[in-house]
Amino acid sequence: MTEPAWIPHAIWWQVYPLGFVGAFPADHPPSADEHRLRRITDWLDHAVQLGASGIALGPIFASRTHGYDTTDHFSIDPRLGDDDDFDHLVVEARSRGLRILLDGVFNHVGTDFARYRDGDAAWFQKRGNGFATFEGHGELITLNHANPEVVSYTADVMAHWLRRGADGWRLDAAYAVPDRFWAQVLPSVRREFPDAWFVGEVIHGDYTATVGAATFDSVTQYELWKAIWSSLNDGNFHELDWALKRHNDFLGTFVPLTFVGNHDVTRIASQLQNAAHLEHALVLLLTVGGTPSIYAGDESAYRGVKEERRGGDDAVRPEFTTAPDDSDVLRLHRYLIGLRRRHPWLHTATTSPLLLTNTQYVYRTAAGPESLIVALNIGDAPLSLSLPDLGVSSGRVIAGSGAPPQDDLSQTEVPPHGWLIIQPH
For every residue of 243-286, DSSP letters joined together read: HHHHHHHHHTT---EEES--TTS--HHHH-SSGGGHHHHHHHHH
What is the CATH number for 394? 2.60.40.1180
Give residue 136's pLDDT.
Answer: 87
- The domain of 402 spans 352-424
3-class secondary-structure state, position 392: coil
Q: Are strands 383-386 and 411-414 parallel, antiparallel or unpaired?
A: antiparallel
Q: Cα separations (Å) of 195 from 58, 80, 189, 216, 374?
A: 21, 28, 10, 13, 33
Instruction: Express each pLDDT in 40-80 by its tens digit.
Output: 999 999 999 999 999 999 999 999 999 999 999 999 999 99
How many domains does the chain divide into?
Answer: 2
Does residue 2 sit within a domain? no
Provide the β-strand partners of residue 292. 258
Residues 338 and 360 in one domain: no
The verdict on 122 and 170 lying in the same domain is: yes
Q: What does the pLDDT look like over 158-209, one tens digit per residue?
A: 999 999 999 999 999 999 999 999 999 999 999 999 999 999 999 999 999 9
Q: Write down the mean pLDDT value for the chain.
A: 97
Whether omega for the bond prior to residue 416 falls within 30 degrees of 0, making it cis, is: no
CATH classification of the domain holding 141: 3.20.20.80
Q: DSSP letter at 314?
A: G
Which pLDDT band holds residue 402 (cuts at 50, 70, 90)?
A: confident
pTM flag (> 0.95): yes
| CA dihedral of residues 45, 50, 52, 53 (deg, nearest 10) | 50
User: Which residues touch 66 (CB under 8 Å, ≥6 apart)?
Assistant: 18, 24, 59, 313
Q: What is the mean pLDDT of residues 212-236?
A: 98
What is the C-alpha R_g of the chain? 22
In a shared domain, residues 250 and 274: yes
Task: Note whether 57 and 180 are same-domain residues.
Answer: yes
Asked if 104 and 235 sit in the same domain, the reply is yes
Same domain, 100 and 66: yes
Residue 365 lies in a domain: yes
At 11-45, the pLDDT tens digits run 999 999 999 999 999 999 999 999 999 999 999 99
Same domain, 36 and 73: yes
Continuous H helices in 193-257 = 207-214, 222-234, 237-251
Over residues 234-242, the mean pLDDT reads: 98
